Amino acid sequence: MKTRRLDNYGKINRDKILSFSWDKKNYKGFEGDTLASALLANNIGIVGRSFKYHRPRGIFSSGVEESGALVTIGSKDRRDPNVRATTQELYNGLEASGQNAFPNVNFDLAGINNYLGRFFAAGFYYKTFMGIPPFEWGRGTTIWMFFEKFIRKAAGMGSASELPDPDSYEHAHDFCDLIVVGSGPAGVAAAIEAAEKKLDVILVEQDSLVGGDQLAENNFDNSQIKNQLENLGIKIMTRTTAFGLYDNCVVGLLERVTDHISTPNVNIPRQRFWTIRAKHIIVGAGAIERHIAFNNNDIPGVMTVNASKHYLNRYGVLTGKRIAIATNNDSVYETAQQLSEAGANVTVLDSRTNFEIETNKSFEIRKGYVPYNINGSKKIHSLDVSKSENMNKSETINCDQVLLSGGWSPAVHLLSHRGVRPKWDYSNACFLPSDSKENITMVGSSRGLWNKNDCIASGIAGTTDALNRLGISKTNYFFPKPGGWKNPIQPLYEVKYKKSRSKSFVDYQHDVTTDDVRLAYREGFISVEHLKRYTTLGMANDQGKMGNIIGLSLMAELLNKEIPEVGTTVFRPPYTPVSIGALSGRNVGKHFRPLRVTPMHQWNIDHGAKMIEVGLYQRPWYYPKENETLSDSYIREASTVRKTVGICDVTSLGKIAIQGPDSTEFLNRIYSNGFSKLQVGKARYGIMLRDDGIVMDDGTSWRLAENEYFMTTSTGEAAKVMSWLEELLQTRWTNLNVNVTSVSEQWAGVSVAGPKSREVLNNCVDDYLVITNNNLPFMGVTSTFLKGNIPCRIARISFSGELAFEVYVKSDFANTMMDLLWANAKKYDGCLYGLEALGALRVEKGHVAAAELDGRVTIDDAGLSKMASTKKSYIGSAMRKRGVLKNNDREILVGFFPTNLKETFNAGTIVCEKNNIKGQGIGRITSVTYSPELGHWIGLGFVKGGLDKWKDTNLVGADPVRNKQMNLKVVSPHMIDPKGERMYA
Amino acid sequence: MIRINCPYCGERDHSEFSYGGDATINYPSLDSSEKEWTEAIFFRKNIKGFQFETWHHSNGCRMWLVVERSTVTHEIKSVKPCHPNLQKVVENNK
Ligand SMILES: [Zn+2]
């Protein structure tokens, strides 16, 4: 087929031929083409199938408002669906394909949906979801469940690659005085004026070239503008979309760095997500031409008038030979003239009857005519037109293209992101931006200015406004009045034709027709927000840039109201789609979140540790020998601790230095148990409650000196506790002289546990006398030295229930400490143990941990009533017995054994009475382990009424997730050594 | 994005801060009744307009701040340290 490219038109680089593929066939284009212009040049009219009805669709526009030419770019792991062909720059080797069609866009089997239209009308999803009358109306979702997969397959667009994204993305930040969005005449004038007034300016342009709509002018050369901007030191960001405005003049940008390059440098990110913090924002985002709703207004070959001007003058493509232009305004005549000069046979149908326009008379103008029906299905054969006053008088125009201009909508989207509602302007038939109290100024045609000189003047005025608001100047300025056409626009949104049986589209991308809007009205969905959701008007990724106003006008007509009374929907970011990759940036894979390791991390790995994530921390999970499994390993480790000795890295615990004369008073207020009498050289286990009486965290505090404590917290709550202590000291108890410092990173900690732990330590400390039972009794604390003159802190604290010590050294000495302890532990057949064995040991002892202290548990629930002092007031003391917290049937901490000791159970099991297995039961199991000491599985958890109520009753553990049930008995949570004789040894 | 002008660190993104809560509550003494504590903990005004609230510069200087912010527009009128002694230091350094 012959090319549509004209020799003497366009700014494409004809010396550089690019080859690309469309639906697996090869074509040629030029450097400077978009995919859309190259497709048009190659005479490809059908580029997609519509969302619901699978109607053939062509290219409607030349920009971001495109709602027809949505295609898939690339393949395999670089397959990108729903890309606008109109903004995709062509590159050598580009692979593009049509969407939503089988086998292809030219012949699509699902095109049958077009004839089943009444089933796919507005509200279709909701109605199907409710059941289909009369069979199962209101009875639920059976039919939906049955049809869902077919419907989802039939109605949809392109599909994303399911493979990992091979490209990298970057987050970047910048600051400036003024950011200008849009490089049309207004934006450029604003930027130049600001730079001359010494402001630091960033100019953002979504296109690859600066110039805005001037790029559609046949004699426009943008290099001069570009040089001028650069010489003034303006930072120009092309291929960059300002997708959203946020509080405090923060602008979100998406820079497409390599999307136009065939083989990008792998060291360059594909896209950059910019956060710009500006002092003022000027938006010159332009305006978008609307179409007109009438029968079959979606046949390939329909386009906006301005788009055809772009294709002609920028890309050298004449989009039709016999062109009918339908309009209600003056903006089309320059284009009509140029198209006709380029060789097309042009007829303009203007709905207005009384107007004067100067042309070179190279084309026909039919005053008072409107289009009402297109004949054709895959391409346009002819257009039925009639007198707008008398629809009975009609005739048919032979044409191969229909260009539409229903007026222009200023791009007020970015301002709308800031909650500023636009106001309807009757004389220009469009929404105009309202003034913003924030430092945002709208300029150019995005404030409804239709000619270039007005746009330039508005840009300069915009910068003056910015300078005034920034307090740099106090200059009077004025904006030109909206408008600028010689003849007024005549509102025209829809041309109705009684005989029509086909479809008249409002929103091309979501296949919303004028009938859908009427149906929504009849069914009561008359508010704009309801109309939008019921019909999905404006909910596709073009956000109704072309069609929203038409939908509004139809609803206004139905309600017998004016458009401003019907309202407008709020635009939300992003202005154009932003890829998930750009949002996540480099925060993927291992960089998804920060990684915390202990100073002996490598030592642990070198000694065979398998690691597990605990919050952000990597902690040793277990240390398997040869072929041991996880359970083999932790059972051996836990047994070894009880028999001889084990060493466990506990560095991830939170550590806080508490210093100052009021430290004791402070601790006495934040812990539920007494701290006022804790002697120097002693540690105490303490529980912190929240203001509302629920347990926040538990840990130990060591009194190192009169006014100095060393606090440990749980791993998970460390950051929260630190913030909490700071809050109390800075906001509530500002007269307390206490300083808190996080020293979690400064100290490496290890637990040495087991009957042989003292003997191991004897060989490791400088002076073994400091750790004798007399000198370091249970809960004793000492600051001493490990061999090699390593300062350390030792506390005799036990989590395992065995004789045990926690040893802390400065983080730099961590490996030396581990070497020393491990060398000596081996002499007693000791082991290294991980989190799994630690868990087994504490469950056997009935010690609560994060699984139990889940933010719902009181100190009494946790069986720790004796930790709640009655002699003092503390945080949470007034509230811990409030309302429901004092009920008798609260769930209390207990232990669980399976009745048949050979059985197992899992955490999460619901505890029920035998004949009442349902709902939430009477309790739950929170932690389970195999107990090496007892030789069977045990659990910790909660049951209503606690041990006393259920100790002689057989209960049932229900585990519906794993489809499992077992008989249980309730036991004391202190499942071994309940008197704690071992710890005191 | 809200930008908060920390008196110690300067203007920073809100993502560096953690939200605290109502800064106007006078927490009762620890030995006060359950009723007084209930009032202090659970009852909040739902202000449309400017309110005083605490923010913690948790990824910065760790200072707790009183921020006067509009719940409608996010406009921030004032930022100062919660602790009166720190307030004085800021005042003296102005
Ligand atoms: Zn700060």
* Range(s) of chain A covered by CATH 3.10.20.440: 1-157
Question: Phi first, then psi: what are they for A17, rounded to 5°?
Answer: -90, 135
Of the candidates B32, B56, B63, the beta carbon closest to that of A878 is on B32
Size of chain A in residues: 985
Q: Which residues contact B54 (CB under 8 A, 6 or more apart)?
A: A727, A731, B19, B20, B21, B22, B23, B64, B65, B66, B67, B82
Q: What is the pLDDT of residues A311-349, one digit of tens each?
A: 999 999 999 999 999 999 999 999 999 999 999 999 999
pLDDT band of residue A393 (cuts 50, 70, 90) is confident
Looking at the predicted structure, is the pLDDT value of residue A923 above 50?
yes
CA of A723 to the centre of ligand 1 (A): 14
> Amino acid letter at A604?
N
Q: Which residues of B touch A729 (CB under 8 A)?
A: 83
Residue with the larger pLDDT of the pair B91 and A710: A710
Interface check A173 vs B, CB under 8 A: no
Query: Which element (helix H / strand E) includes A655?
Result: strand A654-659
Q: What is the pLDDT of residue A477?
A: 96
CATH topology of domain A881-971: Elongation Factor Tu (Ef-tu); domain 3 (2.40.30)
Is B2 close to A247, i.e. CB distance below 8 A?
Answer: yes
Mean pLDDT of chain B: 95
Percent of chain A with pLDDT over 90: 85
* Range(s) of chain A covered by CATH 3.50.50.60: 168-290+407-492, 321-406+493-566
> Amino acid letter at A159?
S
A1-157: CATH class: alpha beta
Residue with the larger pLDDT of the pair A624 and A593: A624
Looking at the predicted structure, is the pLDDT value of residue A152 above 70?
no
Distance CA A121, CA A131 (A): 16
Contact in structure between A885 and A862 (CB atoms under 8 Å): no
Q: Which residues of B touch A277 (CB under 8 A)?
A: 3
Q: What is the pLDDT of residues A347-362, one digit of tens each?
A: 999 999 999 999 989 9
Q: Which residues of B touch A669 (CB under 8 A)?
A: 30
Of the candidates B30, B74, B86, the beta carbon closest to that of A247 is on B74
Q: Which residues of B touch A437 (CB under 8 A)?
A: 73
Structure tokens at A945: 């009424």
Looking at the predicted structure, is the pLDDT value of residue A755 above 60?
yes
pLDDT band of residue A249 (cuts 50, 70, 90) is very high
Residues A601-652+746-840: name the CATH superfamily.
Answer: Probable tRNA modification gtpase trme; domain 1 (3.30.1360.120)
Contact in structure between A202 and A179 (CB atoms under 8 Å): yes
Q: What is the ipTM of this complex?
A: 0.98
Q: What is the pLDDT of residues A433-473, one digit of tens each?
A: 999 999 999 999 999 999 999 999 999 999 999 999 999 99
pLDDT average, residue stretch A233-259: 97
Please count the other Cβ atoms lying within 10 Å of the Cβ belonging to residue A727. 18
Distance CA A236, CA A187 (A): 12
Cα distances (Å, whole numbers) of residue B68 to A146, A347, A407, B51, B55? 54, 63, 45, 5, 10
B3-6 and A910-913 as β-strands: parallel, antiparallel, unpaired?
unpaired
Interface check A878 vs B, CB under 8 A: yes
pLDDT average, residue stretch A41-46: 95
Residue A722 to chain B, least CA–CA distance (Å) = 10
Is B3 close to A250, i.e. CB distance below 8 A?
Answer: yes
- Angle at CA A630, nearest 5°, toward A628 and A635? 85
A321-406+493-566: CATH class: alpha beta
Please count the other Cβ atoms lying within 10 Å of the Cβ belonging to residue B40. 17
Q: Which residues contact A107 (CB under 8 A, 6 or more apart)?
A: none
Looking at the predicted structure, is the pLDDT value of residue A136 above 60?
no
**Residue in this structure with the two tokens 């065939």, named with its chain if needed:** A262
Residue A731 to chain B, least CA–CA distance (Å) = 6
Q: What is the pLDDT of residue B55?
A: 98
Q: What is the pLDDT of residue A109?
A: 74
pLDDT average, residue stretch A795-806: 95
pLDDT band of residue A156 (cuts 50, 70, 90) is low
Q: What is the pLDDT of residue A110?
A: 72
Of A819, A809, A684, A812, nearest to A750 (Cα)?
Answer: A809
**Residue in this structure with the two tokens 């450097």, named with its chain if needed:** A31
Q: What is the CATH number of domain A654-742?
A: 3.30.70.1400
Angle, helix A185-196 to helix A452-469, in steps of 10 degrees: 40
Q: Cα A855 from chain centroid?
A: 28
Q: Which residues of A touch B30 (CB under 8 A)?
A: 669, 873-875, 877-878
- Residue A729's closest chain B neighbor by CA? B83
Looking at the predicted structure, is the pLDDT value of residue A69 above 70?
yes
CA of A173 to the centre of ligand 1 (A): 20
Q: What is the pLDDT of residue A128?
A: 59
CATH of A168-290+407-492, one of 3.90.79.10, 3.30.870.10, 3.50.30.30, 3.50.50.60: 3.50.50.60
- Interface size between A and B, measured as CB pairs under 8 A: 73
Q: What is the pLDDT of residue A1?
A: 46
A739-742 and A654-659 as β-strands: parallel, antiparallel, unpaired?
antiparallel
Q: What is the pLDDT of residue A906?
A: 96
- Which of helix, strand or coil describes residue A936? strand
Cα distances (Å, whole numbers) of residue A98 to A81, A103, A115, A159, A291? 10, 10, 22, 11, 23
Distance linking the first and last C-alpha atoms of chain A: 96
Prior bond of A574 cis (ω within 30°): yes
Domains of chain B with bracketed CATH: 3-25+36-93 (3.30.2270.10)
pLDDT band of residue A144 (cuts 50, 70, 90) is low
Give just the sign of the alpha carbon dihedral A798, A802, A808, A812.
Answer: negative
Q: Cα A858 from chain centroid?
A: 36
Is A879 close to B62, i.e. CB distance below 8 A?
Answer: no
Is B30 close to A692, i.e. CB distance below 8 A?
Answer: no
Structure tokens at B27: 């927490």
**Chain B contacts in chain A segment 389-418 (CB below 8 A):** none
- Residue B33's closest chain A neighbor by CA? A878
pLDDT average, residue stretch A825-829: 97
